[in-house]
Amino acid sequence: MTTVETAVGTAKTMVLNMGPQHPSTHGVLRILLELDGETVVKAIPDLGYLHTGIEKSCEDKTYSQAITLTDRMDYLNPLGNNLVYCLAVEKLLGLEVPKRAQYIRVMMVELQRISSHLVWLGTHAIDLGAMSVFLYCFREREEILKIFELFTGQRMMTSYIRIGGLALDPPVGWRQAVERFLKMMPSRVDEYETLLTENRIWIGRTKGVGYISPEDAIALSMSGPTLRAAGVAYDNRKAFPYSSYEEFDFDLPTRTESDCYARYLIRVAEMRESLKIIRQALDKISNEGPIKADAPGIIPPQREKMKTEMEALIYHFKIFTEGFSPTPGEVFVTIESPRGELGCFIASDGSPKPLRVHFRSPSYINLQALPKLIEGQLISDVIACIGTIDIVLGEVDR
Amino acid sequence: MGFQIVTESSRQNTNVVAGCLRSWNPKAVVDVLEFRGETTIVVPRELLRATAERCREDAKLQYNFLTDATCVDRYPAEPRFELNYHLVAIPRREKVRLRVWLGGNDPVVDSLVLVWPGANWLEREIFDLFGIRFTGHPDLRRILLPDDWEGHPLRRDYPVEGYRDVPNTGELFRKSSTP
């Protein structure tokens, strides 16, 4: 356990251990708070309680085996993690993914963004004392998880996005399921807004709390809704489009207040934008078409081909025994996860296993700004500030 | 846009960055690499902080955002450690990677916390998992592993399953290889 030197004793301050079991820390975050009465003088986050060595484990797996590990980092955004890893490997290989697969990927990660924001909104509201929002948010999240189950067979650890495409063709009835969700969701977002946006208690707990200037936010490498709430219009979907995002028409909500309330408004607006993107993706996805790149030796062959063609059987055997070997080199790919800029760095030495896989996790880097947000504020604002950064400890500690 | 080869714009960006840095200090650019449309500038160890500062301040470069810093261990090759800093110019929508090579017997480099405060935890993570020391870092402690952990697990000579004891001694796992 980390022990930390504080300036205790200089004044009438006391040190309070918040976490690692505190419910509002959304996992196992420990914060050492030095308090003067109810005011936070100093805050020191202490991490690592959930460190699982995913980056080290990746070095001992072939490129395709490591996909399942990525699910388990940010467990509210498994599809986004799959996507960033697969994009990095595809870039390393120089592999082109069919348009249909790209659109399905966009649709899935946008559904994931809504579900992640719903969990955020529900838990953030419950931290600040609004119980019912949580129940409504989880009701709609359940609908998204049902869609994921339909597509992938899994509710959470999907591993649906694979190198070169997708694991499975969308199942029968998928279009109706997504249409149903699109019809239902806009009114539900309005519902959350009626509960919170003009709620006096909500405004009292969030407005003016946790301010950070845009200069500080950039200097501290913050990204995602927290950065956009500070007035910096930086989003990887617009700045460095991936997976055909440049073909989609959506707005980038930004605000300038840079407090917890602004971040709440940004995330709600992002849910509406995501619905717009899903609508467009639905129109773009054709009913028939390839979902995997044509790359023998990298993409596993179809089952029926394996029974009839010798080459297919050989490739299948080789992919699952030794894997494939990309050219030596390094790539760094970033996408916009619900929490911010999610990056994947892969260094290849020409062998079937990566030399190094590194994830730039937005929660980890955004959390760095927490002391800046809460120092000088009241202890009850600490909870609002942890919530507003939207951390997932599985991703922080990796 | 899953597939990016060396495009016209990436080549142009490489030329802009390398040209700007060379005209500022010819010694700052040891090598310029391009792979899959990504620009890598290899910087000598002594000039890392000055070059990073230049990248941020130069009106033509505007690399104001340090998105990531990470290390690759090329053991048993020497110099074994390759530090990669990924910078983003938010106004220009361009990326660049600064790279520094460090030898295994003296893995020390200047900290970039003075240039970007956001480098703080990134460097602590590298210190924790690779054992690279950053001079001028305000708070260089382990961050993910416990303070009493021995060794640096992301080094290539650290086994993936950790140091395991010989069987039948009663101990299942031990953190260190030393008895």
pLDDT score, position A303: 84
3-state secondary structure of B104: coil
The reply to whether residue B90 touches residue A60, judged by beta carbons under 8 angstroms, is: no
Comparing alpha-carbon positions, the chain A residue that sits nearest to B114 is A219
CB nearest to A91's CB, from B4, B64, B143: B4
pLDDT tens for B85-111 read: 999 998 888 889 999 999 888 899 999
Distance from the Cα of A199 to chain B's closest Cα (Å) equals: 35
Q: How confident is residue B3, by pLDDT bands cut at 50, 70 and 90?
A: very low
The region that residue A294 occupies, defined by phi over 0 for left and psi between -120 and 50 for alpha, beta otherwise, is beta
3-state secondary structure of A60: coil
pLDDT tens for B15-58 read: 888 888 888 888 888 888 888 888 899 999 988 999 998 888 88
Which residues, given as ranges, of chain A have pLDDT below 70? 1-11
Residues in Cβ contact with A18 at an 8 Å cutoff, skipping those fewer than 6 apart: A25, A30, A31, A32, A33, A382
- How far is Cα of residue A316 from the mean position of the Cα atoms in its chain? 32
Distance of alpha carbon B146 from alpha carbon B130, whole angstroms: 14
Q: Which of residues 38-57 of B touch A (CB under 8 A)?
A: 38, 40
Q: Is the preceding omega at residue A20 within 30 degrees of 0, hence cis? A: yes
Does the pLDDT of residue B178 top 60, yes or no?
no
Does the pLDDT of residue B5 top 80, yes or no?
no
Q: How confident is residue B8, by pLDDT bands cut at 50, 70 and 90?
A: low
Counted across chains A and B, CB pairs separated by less than 8 A come out at 131
Length of chain B: 179
Domain boundaries in chain B?
A: 8-135
Calculate mean pLDDT across residues B56-80: 88
pLDDT score, position B1: 38
The answer to whether B167 contacts chain A (CB < 8 Å) is no
Nearest to B38 by CA among A293, A58, A240: A240
Picking from B56, B70, B73, B130 by the largest number of A CB atoms within 10 A of its own CB, the best residue to mutate is B70
pLDDT score, position A143: 92
Distance of alpha carbon A135 from alpha carbon A141, whole angstroms: 10
Residue position matching structure tokens 């009493």: B148
The answer to whether B24 contacts chain A (CB < 8 Å) is no
Chain B contact set for A222 (CB, 8 A):
118
Domains of chain A: 54-397 (1.10.645.10)
- CA torsion, ordered B76, B77, B79, B82, to nearest 10 deg: -90
Nearest to A104 by CA among A243, A231, A276, A229: A243
Picking from B63, B115, B144 by the largest number of A CB atoms within 10 A of its own CB, the best residue to mutate is B144
Q: Which of residues 99-118 of B touch A (CB under 8 A)?
A: 116-118
Q: Domain B8-135: give its CATH code.
A: 3.30.460.80
pLDDT tens for B106-132 read: 899 999 999 999 899 999 999 999 999
> What is the 8-class DSSP label of residue B167?
T
Chain A contact set for B88 (CB, 8 A):
239
The answer to whether B154 contacts chain A (CB < 8 Å) is yes
pLDDT tens for A280-298 read: 999 999 888 888 888 888 8
Distance of alpha carbon A393 from alpha carbon A158, whole angstroms: 19
- How far is Cα of residue A362 from the mean position of the Cα atoms in its chain? 8
Distance of alpha carbon B159 from alpha carbon B75, whole angstroms: 13
pLDDT score, position A5: 56
pLDDT score, position A15: 85
The reply to whether residue A356 touches residue B72, judged by beta carbons under 8 angstroms, is: yes
